[in-house]
């Protein structure tokens, strides 16, 4: 059986989702998990796009071992130099250069003709090769390009030393059989194409990204570009979990394998969803909460007789387990430390102390603390230690509400050692808390989105709140968790404000946000 290389672009194309805005530490946590998932390549970002992204890619290149670390660059010298600067310390670095091949991209985006565009692409590729031996070249909008021009471009980039050539369906326009035919056309027409890895990168605008990717694989592609939970521009990218599980489940048909440790899929999906504040739809294939839930009587009866009656994929193969080890308030530091390191987190002492204190308070209220709860507590503690997220901290809040009464909240926040407080009324208790917080920070921002979700399914479950705020085109995400959803919401709102403030302060063009 031949191997299919899995190239994960959650941290680059996936992070282009509006409002995802991960910071370097969050990106690093996700990259470490992607390494545990055993993807072959991690596209860590687009370093020239912002100083924060450069920093994130650099940290990932220095700390994440195993997968190839990829940085994206336009066919522009400055992009390529910056990409190389970010990844040069990686165990296995790769520069990924892209340039459009469709007439609409060549003429409308660049104002060039086909020959000039090819010349620019080749020059960029040669420059990238002079810095890094592993260079991927993407023919952006390939599926809407003239196939014969594509043959010419791919032929020349192969001759110029590209190690991977990627054929993107940038706007999600392709259909499976046609896309497969394009791949076999390239395989048949391009000399020496077997010397490189042929890759595909499909978007999901027509809901065909996984199908197009698999069709390409059947026709000769050997690298698949995808994202966790199918996140990405517009309708997203091909979903990693769908492609990997299709290849594994239908090994009898495809006769390929990937190196992905599928038992890490669920954990990775949850981490990405929580960090990006992008909930997974319940009926999402493989990772949706209903993906393995059987509700009809006939199905349940069948499952009880033999799971194979209605289950083609085994839940344990994607890492769905019954809550493994349940911790309680009596579990102690050692057991908690063991659990955290088993889950793959590497905490600094100060972070562990914060986790332990929060764990005790959760365990007091909830008695049984599950893996999912521990993961949320750990992630919160990590984010709380990010320097830029600490301008305000939640000291306390009180809400008075009742049937037929207008809810009123009193909130205390600490800023640089000083406790500030305000009261406000609202349409509901959370609205009142948010208004009281606004009263303290005096900020003129917009609340874009607010969601609360239970972490586990028990009655005393922890709630996780996600808040998005924006101002002057900047958007920031905040998260908070607690067994009390009012507290989770208040924490999330304060974090979102802190991050927005930090983003605005960092940008010299932004009208400086000046909280009281």
5 binds, options ligand KIV, Zn ion, none, Cβ within 5 to 8 A by partner type: none
| Spacing of C-alpha 103 from chain mean position | 32
H-helix or E-strand spanning residue 198: strand 197-202
**Near ligand KIV by CB under 6 A, which window of 165-173, 255-263, 429-437, 486-494?**
165-173
CB of 269 to Zn ion, least distance (A): 20
**Near ligand KIV by CB under 6 A, which window of 48-56, 163-171, 284-292, 420-428?**
163-171
H-helix or E-strand spanning residue 6: strand 5-8
82 with 73: CB under 8 angstroms?
yes
Phi/psi of residue 8, nearest 5 degrees: -95, 130
Size of the site for Zn ion (CB under 5 A): 1
Question: What does the alpha-carbon distance between residue 80 and residue 73 come to, in Å, rounded to a whole number?
Answer: 5
* Dihedral sign for Cα atoms in the order 188, 190, 195, 198: negative
- Please name the residue that has the structure tokens 């010298």: 77
Considering only 33, 68, 82, 138, the residue that binds ligand KIV (CB under 6 A) is: 138
Is 202 or 272 the residue whose CB approaches ligand KIV more closely?
A: 202
For 109, which DSSP code?
A: I
The interface with ligand KIV within residues 201-230 (CB under 6 A) comprises 201, 203
Concatenate the DSSP letters of all residues of 151-201 into one string.
Answer: HHHHHHHHHTT-SEEEEEETTS---HHHHHHHHHHHHHHSTTGGGSEEEEE
98 binds, options ligand KIV, Zn ion, none, Cβ within 5 to 8 A by partner type: ligand KIV
13 is a contact residue toward ligand KIV (CB under 6 A): yes
The interface with ligand KIV within residues 184-203 (CB under 6 A) comprises 201, 203
Is 137 or 397 the residue whose CB approaches ligand KIV more closely?
A: 137
The site string for Zn ion over 13-52 (x = CB under 5 A, - otherwise) reads x---------------------------------------
8 binds, options ligand KIV, Zn ion, none, Cβ within 5 to 8 A by partner type: none
CB of 50 to ligand KIV, least distance (A): 16
Question: What does the alpha-carbon distance between residue 497 and residue 408 come to, in Å, rounded to a whole number?
Answer: 21
| Spacing of C-alpha 460 from chain mean position | 29
Is 232 or 426 the residue whose CB approaches Zn ion more closely?
A: 232
CB of 29 to ligand KIV, least distance (A): 23
Is 98 or 352 the residue whose CB approaches ligand KIV more closely?
A: 98
Size of the site for ligand KIV (CB under 6 A): 9
Question: What does the alpha-carbon distance between residue 172 and residue 208 come to, in Å, rounded to a whole number?
Answer: 8
CB of 140 to Zn ion, least distance (A): 8
CB of 8 to ligand KIV, least distance (A): 13
CB of 250 to ligand KIV, least distance (A): 26
- Please name the residue that has the structure tokens 């306390």: 396
Classified as helix, coil or strand, 470 is: strand
Paired sense of beta strands 223-226 and 5-8, if any: parallel
Question: What does the alpha-carbon distance between residue 383 and residue 495 come to, in Å, rounded to a whole number?
Answer: 9
* Dihedral sign for Cα atoms in the order 72, 232, 213, 180: negative
The interface with Zn ion within residues 273-332 (CB under 5 A) comprises none
Is 98 or 356 the residue whose CB approaches ligand KIV more closely?
A: 98
Question: What does the alpha-carbon distance between residue 398 and residue 400 come to, in Å, rounded to a whole number?
Answer: 7
Beta bridge partners of 408: 400, 425
Considering only 67, 168, 176, 230, the residue that binds ligand KIV (CB under 6 A) is: 168
Nearest CA to 98 among 137, 134, 153, 128?
A: 137
Residues near Zn ion, by CB under 5 A: 13
State the residues that interact with ligand KIV by CB under 6 A.
13, 98, 138, 140, 166, 168, 170, 201, 203
């Amino acid at each position: 059986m031949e191997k299919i290389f899995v190239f994960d672009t959650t941290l680059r194309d996936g992070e282009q989702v509006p409002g995802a805005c991960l910071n370097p530490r969050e990106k690093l946590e996700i990259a470490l998990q992607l390494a545990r998932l055993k993807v072959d390549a991690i596209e860590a970002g687009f370093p020239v796009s912002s100083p924060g992204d450069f920093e994130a890619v650099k940290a990932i290149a220095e700390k994440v071992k195993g997968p190839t670390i990829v940085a994206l660059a336009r066919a522009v010298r400055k992009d390529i130099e910056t990409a190389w600067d970010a990844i040069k310390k990686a165990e296995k670095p790769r520069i990924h250069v892209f340039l459009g091949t469709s007439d609409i991209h060549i003429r409308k985006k660049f104002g060039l003709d086909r020959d000039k565009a090819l010349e620019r692409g080749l020059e960029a590729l040669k420059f990238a090769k002079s810095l890094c031996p592993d260079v991927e070249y993407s023919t952006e909008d390939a599926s809407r390009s003239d196939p014969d021009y594509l043959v010419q471009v791919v032929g020349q980039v192969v001759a110029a030393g590209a190690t991977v050539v990627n054929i993107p369906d940038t706007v999600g326009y392709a259909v499976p059989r046609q896309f497969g035919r394009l791949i076999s056309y390239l395989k048949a027409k391009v000399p020496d194409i077997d010397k490189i890895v042929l890759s595909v990168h499909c978007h999901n605008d027509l809901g065909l990204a996984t199908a197009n990717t698999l069709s390409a694989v059947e026709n000769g592609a050997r690298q698949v570009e995808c994202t966790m939970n199918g996140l990405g521009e517009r309708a997203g990218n091909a979903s990693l979990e769908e492609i990997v599980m299709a290849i594994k489940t239908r090994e009898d048909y495809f006769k390929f394998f990937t190196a992905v440790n599928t038992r890490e899929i669920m954990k990775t999906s949850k981490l990405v969803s929580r960090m990006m504040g992008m909930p997974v739809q319940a009926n999402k294939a493989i990772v949706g909460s209903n993906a393995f839930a059987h509700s009809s009587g006939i199905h349940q009866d069948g499952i009880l007789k033999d799971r194979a009656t209605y289950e083609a994929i085994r839940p344990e193969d994607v890492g769905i387990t019954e809550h493994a080890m349940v911790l309680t308030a009596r579990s102690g530091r050692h057991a908690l430390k063991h659990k955290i390191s088993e889950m793959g987190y590497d905490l600094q002492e100060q972070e562990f102390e914060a986790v332990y204190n929060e764990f005790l308070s959760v365990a007091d209220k909830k008695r049984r603390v599950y893996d999912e709860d521990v993961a949320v507590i750990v992630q919160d503690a990590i984010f709380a230690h990010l320097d830029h997220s600490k301008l305000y901290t939640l000291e306390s809040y009180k809400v008075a509400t009742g049937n037929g009464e207008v809810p009123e909240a009193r909130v205390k926040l600490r800023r640089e050692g000083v406790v500030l407080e305000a009261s406000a009324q609202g349409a509901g208790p959370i609205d009142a808390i948010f208004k009281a917080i606004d009263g303290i920070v005096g900020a003129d921002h917009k609340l874009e989105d607010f969601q609360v979700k239970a972490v586990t399914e028990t009655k005393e479950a922890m709630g996780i709140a996600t808040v998005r705020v924006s101002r002057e085109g900047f958007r920031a995400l905040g998260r908070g968790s607690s067994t009390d959803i009012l507290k989770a919401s208040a924490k999330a709102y304060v974090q979102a404000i802190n991050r927005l403030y930090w983003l605005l302060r960092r940008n010299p063009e932004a009208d400086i946000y000046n909280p009281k």
